[in-house]
Amino acid sequence: MKTHGNGPLRRSRRTASVDPQGLQFPGKFEITAMGAVGIGLEARVPALLAQEAGVQLVADSVVVRPSKKGNFVAVKLRFLARTRAEYERAHQVLRADPEIRYTL
């Protein structure tokens, strides 16, 4: 038995489920949204995910990257999805926004 500090490590009683596509829930996932520069995607993407999709964002996980020519911006962040439905909802909410051109 492995030990940590003063006692044995204990496994969590919480079980994860794996869906047919191989994703494990609950889990932390990365999502990227791309759109034009200057429309505030840096604030818009986290707000949409938290408020519209209702998913929990991972603190300090937002990464913003401009395109080579500076016309577009990619906003990448991590979020917690407890179920496949929450994961899908996050993607649907971003795809529904007319200012977001692509999601990954």
Residue range 29-103, CATH number: 3.30.70.260
CB 23 within 8 A of CB 31: no
Q: What is the pLDDT of residue 15?
A: 66
Q: What is the pLDDT of residue 19?
A: 73
d(CA 83, CA 39) in angstroms, rounded, equals: 31
> What is each CA distance from 83 to 3, 30, 77, in whole angstroms?
32, 15, 18
Strand partners, 51: none
Q: What is the pLDDT of residue 48?
A: 98
Q: Low-confidence residues of the chain, pLDDT below 70?
A: 1-15
Domain residue extents for the chain? 29-103
Q: What share of the chain is helix, strand, coil (3-state, %, to 5)?
A: 25, 35, 40
- Continuous H helices in 6-104: 41-47, 84-96
